[in-house]
Chain A
Amino acid sequence: MRSVSVDDLLKTKPAVVNVGLESFARTLSGLGVPVAQVSWSPPAGGDAELANIVSLLNLPGEKTERIEAANREAVRRMLEGDPVLIDVVPAESVIPQLKERLILHAGPPIEWARMCGPMQGAVSGAILYEGWTKDLDAATALAASGGVQFQPNHHFSAVGPMTGMITRTMPVMVVENRKFGNRAYCTINEGLGKVMRFGGNDAEVLNRLAWLRDVLGPLLGKALRDSGGIPLKAMIARGLGMGDEMHQRNVACTGLFLREISPWLARATSDSEKLAQALAFISGNDQFFLNVAMAMGKAIMDPVRGIENSTVVTAMCRNGTDFGVRVSATGDQWFVAPVEMPVGLYFPGYSEADANPDMGDSAIVETIGLGGFAMAAAPAVVGFIGAGNAATAVTYTKEMGEIAIAENPEWAIPALDFQGVPTGIDVRLVVGSGITPAINTGIAHKKPGIGQVGAGVARAPMGCFQQAARELARKMGFV
């Protein structure tokens, strides 16, 4: 740490960090004194007592050194993760609990009655897809009467975008973290238009899911197994250089993935029409890679869970009603607050009035430093929040840098002179600064069955982090 003695302070000219009245900084600048102005706003959601507690959590000392050490370990595990896409398999083969009438969903735990429209629509669709009822009405009635169980994907090493449905026969991609040996799962991205992840549940949606289950899943699984797995870390690095941030923009990585997998797909089938369909499906969906990135995010973050004294965020997710955050030191505990509305652009015919609040497990990519945290790599995405220009994209990444404890040297952003993406969201920094994570997201229609109506940026609610900070302070004996 820097720090000069009082004697040295008196021997040198002051160099000042000014927090508050800018006139002080102007005067000092005019006198030639080096000064850095902080653009201050009340931290901790305006809770001064909590701000004070969090400042204690940041003050170097014996207890906080334990936090620092734990966080260094958390970041080490994040950076040393070696995620490889190895397979596509039916969900029930890797999540044995799925053999019952169980539906996994995005976000923290939620019961049917509190689910938002698209989530309920997707649930009904998923029930019908599994053949547990004959029609949608019966499916809805079954769900409403408690005939199916609901569990978050995150409880089963899985993640899903938007509504995030996973049921027993759905094919899931398997990402193995070869450094730590753990695996994580995510469904195959369905493409644009009417899709189950946005609450769609009509025949078109269900037929596509059936094709994914019967054709693409098995084919992609074989291709991946034959290839020996596709390492993802380097692919992300290249994608960042090509304008992807891996949440709203996955064009480059989808292309890079297709380039790798094409020969293996070709070898995996003798049916050239099937092959053509598979290639067309992947190449026709700019967001195909999103689900790969999400499984990768989960595979990277799971080994970071449960490090005693670590204040690093291990999961952020939303179910369309609540936003949930998990922190390393508090293990599997969810810190939950109401989700916020994204700010964004809408497809023709739609507006804010149609929008469902923020939804999906996809914020796992922000948790590992991509998405909103890597906005500077994908300036085009910043347009979603209105008058954004390329420079605004940089400010997002820099702002996120203020709540992260490290940078990822392997995931560098050319526009920032190859500075690494901000890595390791620290609850202390979020609460202490008042800056909440920015999450790039699609926007679903609030009614079931309609689908995506726009895209934008949402903020994680401060409430989750306030609760987490209080719990961490309590657990570590600061209060």
Chain B
Amino acid sequence: MSGVVLNEIRRGVYLDSVALMRLSRTVAGLPGVLEAALMIGTPSNKKIMQDAGILTPEGEAAQGSDLVLAIKGADEAAARAALDQAKAQLDAPKAAAQETADRKVRTLRAAANALPDANLAIISVPGEFAAAEARNALANGLHVMIFSDNVAIEHERALKEEAAARGLLVMGPDCGTAILNGVPLAFANVVRKGDIGIIAASGTGLQEVSTLIDRHGKGITHGIGVGGRDLKESVGGITTLMAIDALDRDPETQHIVLISKPPAAKVAEAIVARIGKSKKQFTLCFIGLDRLSLPQNAVLASTLTEAAEKALGRLIVPAGAKVPMLNGQRRKLRGLYSGGTLCAEAQVILRRKGIDVASNAPIPGVPEISGEAQNSILDLGADEYTVGRPHPMIDPSLRNELLKQALVASDTAVILLDVVIGYGAHDDPAGSVAEILSGSAENGPVVIASVTGTEADPQNYSAQVRRLREAGVIVESTNAKAVELAAAALASSQGASGQRRASAS
């Protein structure tokens, strides 16, 4: 290849070869440059330049103490420009050396070494790797909260056994919420200190009960998540039993609330037996379970609101909304939930009130949803809605979409919503609901909601309630009360239409 070769020598200059190679590469990348080398004029370097066809007699004269600048350009101008550029870069002051790079450690072991007081690991990696990382946490003597879901149940069992053998606690998998010593972990609220300890298999269950306790003047010691499958027979309640032991020994905790889906019979037995040995008061909320023989120191609550009431030792007053009149021939209830346990609680109450309802996440006795014709309660945090999409508590766009559809559907009578705030949740979920409602027509469906949160939460409970009410939403004091109100509205309008039919005949 033809071209113009220029050599220039700087006598008595030594520069590090790596620095020179980097500079050579920069210069070689300039427009019109075919080849470039900045090298100390040792025999071996001159040989390299010779072989590359960029050594002139001038460069050949260089010694081992000289710097050779050798450029081959497409033409004289390009070569000259590149040579000037190379010299300019050689002479340019170097940028100040950076401080030691702020390197993030790549392993749990290194992080634990960097934080010698560490006592807890939070794992939120993809589920298939979560068990390995959780075990790494145990290996480093850390308690674990596994936020990840999709962890195989046999791994969960193995991990919990390994942890128990070491006196360590595994919260989760799929543990969305915990509060230890007032510190909210993952999705949790700012709940005041008190004497009630909560053990929960579900995130929103723990959030609802802890915030109700807070808003009604009491507080909690700890909120321990155990994961949704802990009370299955294949896991055996390992974490739940450890948590009961710990809260039983904890001098601050006077009353213990246990929240879960109904447990396997064997596991329930073990738990009831353990409770019987405690001197503390227990409230058991196995969502929807109305009957269980319990020792003297324990009571059963079938909803989250009841559980909070039992722990508070008093009833929670409804917000006092009148039963709303439903508009026209609208007859259908549509529940759009972001919280799985709040969704289950809604079904429990509707079932109890004799209202037919279907769900994508049905509790026992409730049918799986099919078609448009039914009253429906949707759990939008269920897997089918969260694949490749953030959870609706973080990103309300999916619920917004369904809310818009429900608002324009001519048969929607009541829309039920939960609004969950706290750390991890969306910045302004009430605002996002209000925005949708602001565009809706008069005489549309009645919208009933509750807010799960506290005054101390970053989004602020009262501000969220106010925002909803300004948008025309009826806000009840708890999810259960909101559902009861919706049920009452449906019942009274059914009663009314029944009367109309009667009078017409």
A interface with B by C-beta (< 8 Å): 1-21, 23-24, 27-28, 31, 33-43, 48, 51-52, 54-56, 58-60, 191-193, 345-349, 380-381, 383-384, 389-392, 394-395, 398-399, 401-402, 429, 432-435
Closest chain A CB from B224 CB (angstroms):
9
Cβ–Cβ contact A3 & B52, under 8 A: no
A191 contacts which chain B residues (CB < 8 A)?
44
| Contact A55/B48 with A6-B168, A14-B183, A391-B99 known, Cβ cut-off 8 Å | no
Cβ–Cβ contact B105 & A39, under 8 A: yes
Cβ–Cβ contact A389 & B424, under 8 A: no
A-B contacts, 14 of them at CB < 8 A, read: A8-B119, A14-B181, A16-B120, A16-B185, A17-B118, A34-B118, A35-B115, A42-B129, A43-B132, A60-B139, A193-B48, A391-B100, A429-B109, A435-B107
CA–CA, A401 and B113, complex, Å: 12
Nearest B residue (CB) for A3: B141
Cβ–Cβ contact B109 & A28, under 8 A: no
B167 within 8 A of A: yes
Closest chain B CB from A55 CB (angstroms):
4
B24 contacts which chain A residues (CB < 8 A)?
348
B270 within 8 A of A: no
- B245-259 interface with A by 8 A CB criterion: 245-247, 249-250
| Contact A6/B107 with A15-B120, A59-B139 known, Cβ cut-off 8 Å | no
Interchain Cβ contacts within 8 Å, total number: 244
| Contact A383/B19 with A14-B119, A36-B105, A348-B24 known, Cβ cut-off 8 Å | yes
Closest chain A CB from B489 CB (angstroms):
38
Cβ–Cβ contact B21 & A433, under 8 A: no
CA–CA, A5 and B106, complex, Å: 26
A31 contacts which chain B residues (CB < 8 A)?
183-184
A384 contacts which chain B residues (CB < 8 A)?
18, 21
B122 contacts which chain A residues (CB < 8 A)?
16-20, 24
Candidates A9, A38, A348; contact of B111 at CB < 8 Å: A38
- B114-145 interface with A by 8 A CB criterion: 114-126, 128-129, 131-133, 135-143
- B61-103 interface with A by 8 A CB criterion: 70, 97-101, 103
A16 contacts which chain B residues (CB < 8 A)?
118, 120-122, 185
Cβ–Cβ contact A349 & B35, under 8 A: yes
B136 contacts which chain A residues (CB < 8 A)?
55, 58, 432
Could you say which of A16, A59, A394, A432 has the most chain B C-beta atoms within 10 Å of its C-beta? A16
B483 within 8 A of A: no
Counting from the closest, the 9 A-B pairs by CB-CB distance are A3-B141, A20-B124, A349-B52, A348-B37, A39-B104, A55-B135, A48-B128, A391-B101, A383-B18
Candidates B54, B110, B116; contact of A402 at CB < 8 Å: B110
Nearest A residue (CB) for B111: A36
A12 contacts which chain B residues (CB < 8 A)?
119, 181
Nearest B residue (CB) for A6: B246
Besides A6-B169, A59-B135, A348-B39, 16 more A-B contacts (Cβ < 8 Å) are: A2-B112, A10-B222, A11-B181, A14-B180, A17-B115, A17-B121, A21-B124, A27-B424, A38-B104, A345-B18, A347-B21, A348-B36, A348-B37, A384-B18, A399-B103, A429-B109
Cβ–Cβ contact B16 & A380, under 8 A: yes
B28 within 8 A of A: yes
A346 contacts which chain B residues (CB < 8 A)?
21, 25
CA–CA, A234 and B108, complex, Å: 34
Could you say which of B19, B97, B183 has the most chain A C-beta atoms within 10 Å of its C-beta? B183
A434 contacts which chain B residues (CB < 8 A)?
106
Cβ–Cβ contact A15 & B125, under 8 A: no
A8 contacts which chain B residues (CB < 8 A)?
119
Nearest A residue (CB) for B190: A31
CA–CA, A119 and B249, complex, Å: 70
Could you say which of A10, A27, A389 has the most chain B C-beta atoms within 10 Å of its C-beta? A10
Closest chain A CB from B31 CB (angstroms):
18
| Contact A394/B101 with A191-B44, A193-B47 known, Cβ cut-off 8 Å | yes
Nearest A residue (CB) for B49: A348
Nearest B residue (CB) for A454: B21
Nearest A residue (CB) for B138: A59
A40 contacts which chain B residues (CB < 8 A)?
106, 125, 133
B250 contacts which chain A residues (CB < 8 A)?
7, 10
CA–CA, A15 and B112, complex, Å: 10
CA–CA, A42 and B224, complex, Å: 28
Nearest A residue (CB) for B187: A24
A48 contacts which chain B residues (CB < 8 A)?
128-129, 132
Cβ–Cβ contact B16 & A36, under 8 A: no
Could you say which of B24, B53, B128 has the most chain A C-beta atoms within 10 Å of its C-beta? B128
CA–CA, A23 and B111, complex, Å: 17
Nearest A residue (CB) for B247: A10
B231 within 8 A of A: no
CA–CA, A52 and B128, complex, Å: 9
Closest chain A CB from B297 CB (angstroms):
21
Cβ–Cβ contact B118 & A33, under 8 A: no
| Contact A27/B423 with A17-B118, A345-B22, A433-B106 known, Cβ cut-off 8 Å | yes
B166 contacts which chain A residues (CB < 8 A)?
3, 60
B301 within 8 A of A: no
A36 contacts which chain B residues (CB < 8 A)?
105, 111-112, 114-115, 118
CA–CA, A40 and B180, complex, Å: 25
Could you say which of B133, B167, B169 has the most chain A C-beta atoms within 10 Å of its C-beta? B133
Cβ–Cβ contact A20 & B117, under 8 A: no
Closest chain B CB from A311 CB (angstroms):
14
CA–CA, A322 and B36, complex, Å: 33
Candidates A5, A17, A193; contact of B120 at CB < 8 Å: A17
Nearest B residue (CB) for A453: B48
B484 within 8 A of A: no
CA–CA, A318 and B478, complex, Å: 67
Cβ–Cβ contact A20 & B147, under 8 A: yes
Candidates B70, B108, B140, B181; contact of A10 at CB < 8 Å: B181
Cβ–Cβ contact B162 & A59, under 8 A: yes
Cβ–Cβ contact B139 & A41, under 8 A: no
A10 contacts which chain B residues (CB < 8 A)?
180-181, 221-222, 246-247, 250
A390 contacts which chain B residues (CB < 8 A)?
97-98
Cβ–Cβ contact B169 & A18, under 8 A: no
B459 within 8 A of A: no
- B326-354 interface with A by 8 A CB criterion: none
Closest chain B CB from A245 CB (angstroms):
12
B186 within 8 A of A: yes
Nearest B residue (CB) for A415: B100
Cβ–Cβ contact A402 & B106, under 8 A: yes
Closest chain B CB from A280 CB (angstroms):
11
A23 contacts which chain B residues (CB < 8 A)?
424
Closest chain A CB from B49 CB (angstroms):
6
B184 contacts which chain A residues (CB < 8 A)?
27, 31
Cβ–Cβ contact A34 & B117, under 8 A: yes
A-contact 0/1 string along B300-338, CB 8 Å cutoff = 000000000000000000000000000000000000000
Nearest B residue (CB) for A378: B18
B426 within 8 A of A: no
A9 contacts which chain B residues (CB < 8 A)?
119-120, 143, 169, 180, 246
B423 contacts which chain A residues (CB < 8 A)?
27
CA–CA, A11 and B116, complex, Å: 17
A395 contacts which chain B residues (CB < 8 A)?
101, 103
Cβ–Cβ contact A55 & B125, under 8 A: no
B242 within 8 A of A: yes
Cβ–Cβ contact A43 & B129, under 8 A: yes
Cβ–Cβ contact A391 & B98, under 8 A: yes
B155 within 8 A of A: yes
| Contact A54/B139 with A4-B119, A402-B106, A435-B106 known, Cβ cut-off 8 Å | no
Nearest A residue (CB) for B115: A36
B260 within 8 A of A: no
CA–CA, A4 and B140, complex, Å: 11
CA–CA, A353 and B441, complex, Å: 67
Nearest B residue (CB) for A53: B132
A-contact 0/1 string along B188-220, CB 8 Å cutoff = 000000000000000000000000000000000
Cβ–Cβ contact B139 & A15, under 8 A: no
